[in-house]
Every structure is written in structure tokens, then in C-alpha cells.
Amino acid sequence: MVKIYCIEDINDLKYVGSTTQKLHKRFTGHKQNKIRNHGKCSSMELNLENSIIYVLEECDDSERKERERYWINKIDCVNRYKLNGIDKEKNKEYIKGWQKNNREKCREATRRWRKNNSFKLKN
């Protein structure tokens, strides 16, 4: 059984995800990724030390993407990929808009990537 979940922080920011893990284990994974500065997950925008996680619904694995997409579009959340590939043109527009509104975050991420991957750029 798959759990569609929401993480909500004290600033009322929300992130929607899905997992087959126990909820507390998945939540710990989000927190560890933020501490280690790993991943590109939208949940990194939340104050994970002051937040809660709760189940929105449970479903079969065959319905996972559809149900997660439903909740991402229903809830005002920080998820970057709102449509999960359903409408590629709308998704591209959304990403361009997000990048435009978060230009400095994108530049900083590019700087970090170049610093950490300079050996790849030299080849």
C-alpha cells in the first residue's frame, strides 16, 4: 500500500509526496537529505525541524502517480513539478516561471554544481 503524504512546516509551506515506507522513516529521510544538502527535492524549502508529516490518502501502487498528481495540484505546495509529466508544455512553462522567480537559487545551485563537478568540466 502506498501513502500519499504531506509535510507542513510552521510557515504553512507544504510538500506532497508518496512512499511505501513507514511515514516517520520517510520523514527522517527528508531531514537527513536537508542536513547533508543532498538532492533536489522541493521539500528542502521547508523548515523540516519544525514541521509535521501526515497521510492524505492510501492507494494501490498502480494509482500512485495519479493520486500524487491529484494532491500536488489540489494543495498549494512547494513541489516544483506540479504536473508530474502529464502535460509537458504546461510543465515546461511552470519550470521556466519557477526558474525566473528563483533566479538566484538557480545561479547558486549552478555554482555549487560546477564547484563539485569541476573535474567533469575539464574533460
Q: What is the pLDDT of residues 60-70, one digit of tens each?
A: 999 998 899 89
Question: Is the domain of 103 the same as that of 72?
Answer: no
Question: Is the domain of 76 the same as that of 101?
Answer: no
Query: What integer pLDDT is reported at residue 90 of this predicted model?
Result: 65
Question: Is the domain of 62 the same as that of 91?
Answer: no
Burial class (CB in 10 A: 0-12, 13-18, 19+), 73: middle
CA atoms within 13 A on the CB side of 105: 9
Report the candidate in 15, 92, 89, 88 with the shortest Cα–Cα distance to residue 46.
15
Quick check: 112 pLDDT over 90? Answer: no
Q: What is the pLDDT of residues 3-14, one digit of tens each?
A: 999 999 999 999
CATH code for the domain of 57 = 3.40.1440.10
Question: Is the domain of 66 the same as that of 110?
Answer: no
pTM: 0.66
Question: Is the domain of 44 the same as that of 103?
Answer: no
The residue range of the domain holding 27 is 1-81
Query: What integer pLDDT is reported at residue 99 of this predicted model?
Result: 79
**Which one is predicted more confidently, 82 or 116?**
116
Query: What integer pLDDT is reported at residue 121 of this predicted model?
Result: 59
Quick check: 73 pLDDT over 70? Answer: yes
All 3 cell numbers of residue 30? 527528508
Question: Is the domain of 61 the same as that of 5?
Answer: yes
Bridge-based pairing state of the strands 2-9 and 51-59? antiparallel
**Which one is predicted more confidently, 39 or 49?**
49
Quick check: 98 pLDDT over 80? Answer: no
The structural domain count of the chain equals: 2
